[in-house]
Chains A and B, each alone.
Chain A
């Protein structure tokens, strides 16, 4: 388990004359801790063109945020080892000096965060914080910066921006704070915008507005966007490409249509099955993925997902536990790192995505407070750990 998975590439097509805006190759991020080395990101590769949107999906601890922080150069030096390449406009950020990365931060790449209240400084007015971001990278007077801040606040849909510019974050609502964060991030017109769970802390009604805003501004500014989330609805809505991460590696990647329409990795199936479906009967339970994400200090040998995978019996021999699955095409430019054959993947997904018969009896297994037992509720439930009893016990222990 010491050698990282071989790099995945998003497209096999010949590179365009002008390279992609962002090219990440075999990125590894490791943290030295008292308990051992945490392999938070283990050989991730992807590329992103201007004006396109990449959605990175995965559970907590799958390495999505660590990846984005690595791109931004926000990991603090001492206990972090970053290898691989991150090329922004052709310039490698991994080998660049900290000062150079700082200059690029905010100017050519910007980031918005999950919780807009704690992400804004409570002691400074919203306008001050936007002006600050603008003036680090632009030698302008306060008046010019202030005009820019008001202009940006107007563009992200803050009503009466000339007045609200002097408000403090606590005087803004949650949605307005996130709008202000977006205004701050876009104030220097960066080519790359990373949105790390931008809607998680917001009301459902506001979530849609913020996503619309990101899409609109992306069209207006022509930026590339990376959107990181565990909410599949969010990425499905706005992404062109999807990268599904598990235990710091790419489980599946490809065009959004492909990943959602014809997913090839059991983990992606699990993610999709754990979403509510409108065509399913109400008594039907959601199907969570059994077990918990692995420790990133001791990543399971072979396929990191195999202890939680319900399909490893269908792979011959012990390959899932011994052999790291290489990413293989399940469709053109759509890769999945799984030992199942393409035909197996297709037929299993066809079963899974078939409309659920509406007349299943209510399950007796789900007494309130019980941990939902997937294997009983729906006879067709595909995902089960090899030993459901032990899997449940483990999950309970950690709960």
Chain B
């Protein structure tokens, strides 16, 4: 089991290296291939009215005259151990993980992401709890009452949930529950440490909106999985033993049906932690998703690269956790 975890960790690091190499190549290799030289590259990074001295300073600061592998090395080592920037008169130290400085605001990228992260985590974690419980429960009940009115109704709603985009359901819920009937007025992010009650109240609408989409998906997945496992021979054995129907369904049926759902849950959660762009935009939550959108709009390459790396980190970690959990759940996966 320990070797299994170590192997997965090594793979995870390797994967992150690949992601960093690709993002780095997109921003630094491809422009070169398209014929841009170091000065032209630096000019885009300086500002609206680039003076030759400012460009030269930027070229030196970003090591743009170095060979590409060396530049990449600077980038990676900056993330791991931090980096000293020589910006002419002064030396700036950017502590690890160093993703450089925003071209627009000149602020370090990492602290900005650290500020945005709790918003995204609050949103994603709360919604995940809601959709996992709701989706699985509805899926199980639908499967057990296949063909019933409950089944048809919930699967109809689920189809709507999968089909409707967040910016539609989100705006509808804002209109109804924030403006028309102000149950949740002024949806803005309040930090948990400042006021937990307000934190929760203001997140209810985003949670429900986001969870609705995923719960619909999970209900359909759970239903399909349960229909399959409840026909397995071992379910018949469990009944033949005289187990109560509840044990048969939960311990024997759901346990097996849940495994594929867990895989998808890990990936979905990892993806969302990198920024729930639509939900955050709809509800104006200053999370990583908003951060990403702003960074892209501003063509702020260090910020984009930073957020890509962070999102990749979450996805890789989530997948690794799923793999480890999988081994814990399914004894056949364990490497003995």
Contact = CB atoms under 8 A, between A and B. Distances in A.
Interface of A: 72, 74, 102-107, 110-111, 113, 115, 118-123, 125, 129, 132-133, 136-137, 168, 170, 181, 184-185
A122 B234 contact: yes
26 contacts: A74-B239, A74-B240, A102-B245, A105-B242, A106-B240, A113-B233, A118-B233, A118-B234, A120-B234, A121-B234, A121-B238, A121-B252, A121-B256, A122-B234, A122-B330, A122-B332, A123-B329, A123-B330, A129-B237, A132-B243, A136-B241, A136-B242, A136-B243, A136-B244, A170-B332, A181-B237
B232 A118 contact: yes
A123 B233 contact: no
Contacts of A137: 242
Given A123-B255, A132-B243, A170-B332, 7 more contacts: A102-B245, A105-B242, A107-B242, A110-B241, A123-B256, A136-B243, A185-B240
B242 A119 contact: no
Contacts of A181: 237
Contacts of A185: 240
Contacts of A133: 241-242
Interface size class of B (residues with CB under 8 A): 20 to 34
Contact of B240 (A72, A121, A123): A72
B236 interface: yes
Given A122-B331, A123-B255, A170-B331, A103 B236 contact: no
Contacts of A170: 331-332
Contact of B242 (A103, A113, A121, A168): A103
A74 B241 contact: no
Nearest to B244: A102
Contact of A184 (B241, B256, B332): B241
Contacts of A102: 242-245
Contacts of B232: 118
Contacts of B255: 123
Contacts of B332: 122, 168, 170
B236 A74 contact: yes
Contacts of A105: 239-242
Nearest to B243: A136
Interface in B231-268: 232-234, 236-245, 252, 255-256
Contacts of B233: 113, 115, 118-119
Interface string B98-134: 0000000000000000000000000000000000000
Interface of B: 232-234, 236-245, 252, 255-256, 329-332
Which 9 A-B pairs give the minimum distances between C-beta atoms? A106-B242, A105-B242, A118-B233, A133-B241, A121-B234, A106-B241, A168-B331, A119-B233, A111-B240
B35 to A, nearest CB: 59
Contacts of A111: 240
A188 B23 CA distance: 64
Contacts, number: 70
B242 A104 contact: yes
Interface centre among A103, A106, A120, A170 (most CB of B within 10 A): A106
A137 B244 CA distance: 11
B222 to A, nearest CB: 17
Contacts of A184: 237, 241
A70 B290 CA distance: 61
Contacts of B241: 105-106, 110, 132-133, 136, 184
Contacts of B243: 102, 106, 132, 136
Nearest to A181: B237
B249 to A, nearest CB: 13
B237 A119 contact: yes
A133 B245 CA distance: 14
B257 to A, nearest CB: 11
A119 B239 contact: no
Contacts of A72: 240
A105 B240 CA distance: 6
Contacts of B330: 122-123
A110 B234 CA distance: 14
B26 to A, nearest CB: 43
